[in-house]
Amino acid sequence: MADHYEVLGVSRDATLDEIKKAYRRLARELHPDVNPGEEASERFKLVTHAYDVLSDPEQRQRYDMGGDSPFGGAGAGGFGGFGDIFETFFGAAAGGGGRAGRPRSRRERGQDALVRVTLDLKDVVFGAHRDLDVDTAVLCETCQGSCCQQGTQPVTCDICHGSGHVQQTVRSLLGNVMTTHPCGSCQGYGTTIPYPCATCQGQGRVRARRTVSIDIPAGVETGLRLQLPGSGEVGQAGGPNGDLYLEVTVASHDVFSRDGDDLLATLEVSMPDAILGTTTTIESLDGPVELEIRPGVQGGDVLTIKGRGITPLRGTQRGDLRVGVHVVTPTRLDSKERALIEDFAKKTKAPAPHLSEFHQGLFAKLRDRFRG
């Protein structure tokens, strides 16, 4: 008689887990449903017997001492343990079956769908509505998901008699073992469709283009995915729809940039206006807004317009519009203008240019953001 350890390919000091793993690997390879050859069948019997002996501590001890039961203790208790493992490996019911479960349902949930949409920054501020054309699976209007021609219906499978499964008896060292498999005639559904719908070829759904209306909330950003439950593909045989996911990309804007819930912009101010101050009108995403520039404003100063930023995705209070000041120094002066500036410089007695502590101000951060 072959050595049980050699049959399973394990050492004599192998642990129970190692023995189980070796048995599972060989059982999957040699089981008659997978490998119907006579040689594989004989090896399967040897492997099963070896596992039955070595997996039981008392039997393994007797075997190591030179004794071995011809059936490895495969009585009612041993067979029950083998049946549980057998079901785990092959999804089959052992010793008479009856636990194969119900037949499969033809109705299945549809797949999820992904649609990408590009928004303007203004859409992010105020939200947007989009009507999107989506190529997807929709319910077959001819059969309404029944999969059958009009006036017909599925019939009970004459092979499995509606159970969706068939049973097969396999002889082994342990006796007759009954395995259960999905019925090949009806594919496990328990019914067949003798007259499938010609429009959907018996699928209950067809490919078509449909329009999905979507309200996109304010505050979204690039990379965000919005989920629309039940707006994806319809399932087979009229099964429930999957979900639709909307992936957002926000296009860059020529003037404004986003910083959290705030909007950033740069305002170019002439040197006279920076010195004397002025009031100007700028075009925000809300429309024209008046902005006061105080006398003596410095380059890099930030002027804030409250409530003209972005409404957060989960909130109601809008952010601000922050405007960084860029004082524009004239590069071309005529003689009269130059004389005026020189006279102004003499009267103000401004200090000579000198080094001071470096400041990475907010305006510099805004400029860096624009460059990125």
Domains along the sequence of the chain with CATH: 4-90 (1.10.287.110), 113-147+202-250 (2.60.260.20), 257-371 (2.60.260.20)
Range with the largest mean pLDDT of 53-57, 90-94, 95-99, 195-199: 195-199
Q: pLDDT tens-digit profile of 329-357? A: 888 888 898 898 888 878 877 777 767 66
Higher pLDDT, 74 or 260: 260
Specify the pairing of strand 225-228 against strand 244-250.
antiparallel
Q: What percent of the chain has pLDDT over 70?
A: 83
When pLDDT is cut at 50, 70 and 90, the band that residue 88 belongs to is very low
pLDDT at 51: 86
Average pLDDT on 102-116 reads 90
Do 9 and 50 contact (CB within 8 A), yes or no? no
pLDDT at 75: 35
Mean pLDDT of the chain: 82
The count of other CB atoms within 10 Å of the CB of residue 4 is 24
DSSP secondary structure of 73-123: TTTHHHHHHHHHHHHHHHS---TT-----PPPPS--PPPPEEEEEEE-HHH
Asked whether the predicted pLDDT for residue 77 surpasses 70, the reply is no
Closest by CA to 202, choosing from 262, 143, 253, is 143
When pLDDT is cut at 50, 70 and 90, the band that residue 82 belongs to is very low
Q: pLDDT tens-digit profile of 165-190? A: 888 777 766 667 777 888 888 989 99
pLDDT at 365: 53
pLDDT at 92: 40
pLDDT at 368: 56
Query: Considering the entire predicted model, what is its pTM?
Result: 0.59
Secondary structure (3-state) at 284: strand
Average pLDDT on 64-69 reads 61
When pLDDT is cut at 50, 70 and 90, the band that residue 95 belongs to is very low
